[in-house]
Chain A
Amino acid sequence: MSIKINLDQVLEDRHMQSVDLAKAIGITKANLSILKTGKAKAIRFSTLERICEVLNCQPGDLLSFEPKD
């Protein structure tokens, strides 16, 4: 997929663990892992909103577009 998730980078910048983020936004660790590894097919606006609230960032910080070769 051309859409990349930069959640790892943002978490590292905020010195935050995945488990804490999962607890804060109310999703399971397994689902957060799916999101981080790019296996997710879609993300709900509500989930994105909660992540942005907790991490104090913009959706653009989490997602980036990399065109295929």
Chain B
Amino acid sequence: MLKKSSFKLIFDILFYTVVINAIATFIMMPIEGFDISFSNSVYEPKREFSSSIYIAAINEIIFSVAFVFVAYHLRRAARLFMINGEFKSFNLVKNLKRSGQFLIILGLSLVVKKIFLEYHFEVTTHFFQSNSMIYLLLIVIGLSFIRLSKMLKLSILAKQEQDLTI
């Protein structure tokens, strides 16, 4: 069983790693000339780069930012889970909902990334290309988080009403 400190540590590691990754993306992208295939340097793009490369770069930025927000809200939700009193508050609902929304954005940006990698850069053996369902899974998890947050909100309201029934 995970101890509270371990639980917190996992989310801290996730958050800081994602932040470092986002910073690296922001620094490396202009240096690499907005080439999003730089992570797959062994694959030489076969087509000429067009203006679509900027769309891909913007998508990469959206991906990085969305990932940071997902990690941030999950970290905050994890902290609230650990504080028993806060489980009754609406902050947890808000964080779960936000992380769900950003997970959907993350999933969609990965779909766009896949399209660009396959059709514009002809990179077909990228790590994530092995299983396309992972994008759908992210979107489904995001939608589930939003639904879960609504359920949690209803349960908190029911609890409050129960507490105020004399």
Is the CB of A39 closer than 8 A to any CB of chain B? yes
The list of the 5 closest CB pairs from A to B, nearest first, reads: A41-B164, A42-B165, A35-B166, A41-B161, A40-B166
What residues on A are CB-neighbors of B161 within 8 Å?
A: 41-42
Interface size, chain B (Cβ < 8 Å): 5
Who on chain A is nearest to B165 by CB? Answer: A42
Cα(A1)–Cα(B94), bound, Å: 27
Q: B-side binding surface: helix, strand, loop or mixed? A: mixed
What residues on A are CB-neighbors of B160 within 8 Å?
A: 41
How far, in Å, is B109 (CB) from chain A's closest CB?
43
How far, in Å, is B69 (CB) from chain A's closest CB?
35
What residues on B are CB-neighbors of A27 within 8 Å?
A: 166
Cα(A1)–Cα(B61), bound, Å: 50
Is the CB of A44 closer than 8 A to any CB of chain B? yes
What residues on A are CB-neighbors of B165 within 8 Å?
A: 40-44
Can you list 5 contacts pairing A with B, beta carbon distance less than 8 Å? A40-B164, A40-B165, A41-B165, A43-B166, A44-B166
Cα(A31)–Cα(B163), bound, Å: 9
Is the CB of A34 closer than 8 A to any CB of chain B? yes
How far, in Å, is B162 (CB) from chain A's closest CB?
9
How far, in Å, is B98 (CB) from chain A's closest CB?
28
A27-B166, A42-B164 given; 14 more Cβ-contact pairs under 8 Å: A31-B166, A32-B166, A39-B164, A40-B164, A40-B165, A41-B160, A41-B161, A41-B164, A41-B165, A42-B161, A42-B165, A42-B166, A43-B166, A44-B165
Is the CB of A64 closer than 8 A to any CB of chain B? no
What residues on B are CB-neighbors of A35 within 8 Å?
A: 166
Is the CB of A47 closer than 8 A to any CB of chain B? yes
What residues on B are CB-neighbors of A34 within 8 Å?
A: 164, 166
Most buried by A among B160, B161, B165, B166: B166
How far, in Å, is A8 (CB) from chain B's closest CB?
15
What residues on B are CB-neighbors of A39 within 8 Å?
A: 164
